[in-house]
Amino acid sequence: MIRLRWWMLTVTALLAVSCGIYSFTGTSIQPDVQTVAIHYFEYKALRVNPSLSNALTEAMRDKFQRLTRLEQVEEDGDLELSADITGYDVKPMAVTAGEVAAQNRLTVTVKATFVNRKHSEDDWDKSFSAYADYDSQNSLDAVEATLCEEIIEKLVEDIFNAAVANW
């Protein structure tokens, strides 16, 4: 009985992998797609964060390197991802009885473009947004690095899933 289960599990795993489209990381990349070009994410928001573009670009490149088999190239990849950081905003979220903000929200918005040169039906232009809240007793400068790490993680996950996980 154990042998039969092991054999069935092995056959199922081999079938899933052999189709070439599904992987255990959740990506669904066609077998003929071999390369990806992830362009530098341009910063176009009014409020300035000088390190956000680089941090977001590198996090995206790292995600693709860790979770796909694709070779990263500078230009003309089978897959191309480019993006602009279009929003970097702080707004009050919770107001106290004295009409003072008790909590603020930092929101980052990214407009991304994905091109699949082999399968153009997968192309898209989308906006992604992520936020993190912080206590208004803290200045943005004091918590900005931590908030940005959290926001970058969310944005990278959303953009990656839209590009190669078809979610």
Distances (CA, A) of 126 to 56, 94, 109, 112: 16, 29, 11, 5
pLDDT band at 1, cuts 50/70/90?
low
pLDDT at 102 over 90: no
Give the model's pLDDT for residue 26.
57
| Amino acid, res. 103 | Q
Buried b (16+ CB within 10 A) or exposed e, 76-99: ebbbbbbbbbbbbebeeeeeeeee
Distance CA 135, CA 64 (A): 34
Q: Record the pTM.
A: 0.81
| Domains with residue ranges and CATH for the chain | 32-165 (3.30.160.150)
| Amino acid, res. 165 | A
Helix (H/G/I), strand (E/B), else coil: 8: helix
Nearest to 68 by CA among 35, 39, 40: 35
**pLDDT (tens digit per residue) in 40-83:** 999 999 999 999 999 999 999 999 999 999 999 999 999 999 99
CB atoms under 10 Å from CB of 123, counted, come to: 13
> What number is the average pLDDT over the span 136-151?
95
pLDDT band at 25, cuts 50/70/90?
very low
